[in-house]
Structure 1
Amino acid sequence: MAENWEKPVALALEGPEKYTTITNTTEASWAMIEDWPLEDSALLTLALDTCAAVIEGKQPAEAARKAFIDAAREAGIPVRE
């Protein structure tokens, strides 16, 4: 189930000024699994775990959004909120 966020997040996953818009928890999970520059980090793991909890209905969608933004900043990915 795609847990839509109140406000999308745009981040430069493919290079400077090449922003991708993420609108929900499922998209965020795929971005972290497929396109993330770090393979192992504390905030990435936390964000993936939070996304799983949201998809399972155990946390609100905005928890995944916040964790996703934190992981992106840790990875040095430019973020537009």
Structure 2
Amino acid sequence: MAENWDKPVTLALEGPGKFTTISNTTEASWAMIEDWPIEDSAVLTRALDTCAAVIEGKQSAETARQAFIDAAREAGIPIHE
């Protein structure tokens, strides 16, 4: 399910000053799988599991958004708010 989040998350995923906007759970999942600077983290694993649960219709999209933000903060990825 690629249900858009109420508020997209814009973060410097590809380096300083190169901001990317993530608008839904599917985009967040792919970003964490393909572009994340760390690979082994409990917070990252929890965020990926939350995204999977949202895609399966078991949790709300906003839960995935918050888990994604938590994983980005842990990874030291700047978020533009």
Q: What range describes the TM-score normalised by the shorter chain of this pair? A: over 0.9
Any unmatched runs of 5+ in structure 1? Answer: none
* 1:10-59: CA deviation from partner (whole Å, max 9, x where unpaired): 01011111000000000000000000000010110000000000000000
Mapped partners of 1:68, 1:6: distance in 2: 14
Q: Give SS of 2:7's match.
A: strand
Name the residue aligned to 2:25.
25
TM-score of the two chains, using structure 1 as the length reference = 0.97
Name the residue aligned to 1:76.
76
Any unmatched runs of 5+ in structure 2? Answer: none
AA in 1 matched with 2:6:
E
User: Aligned ranges for residues 44-63 of structure 1 at < 5 Å?
Assistant: 44-63=44-63
- Give every structure 1 segment of 4 or more consecutive aligned residues whose post-TM-superposition deviation is greater than 6 Å: none
Q: Is the 8 A contact 1:4 1:23 kept in 2?
A: yes
Q: How far is the alpha carbon of 1:78 from its aligned partner?
A: 0.2
Mapped partners of 1:41, 1:70: distance in 2: 11
Q: Give SS of 1:50's match.
A: helix
AA in 2 matched with 1:54:
V
Q: What percent identity do the matched residue pairs reach? A: 84
* Pairs aligned (count): 81
AA in 1 matched with 2:8:
P
TM-score of the two chains, using structure 2 as the length reference = 0.97
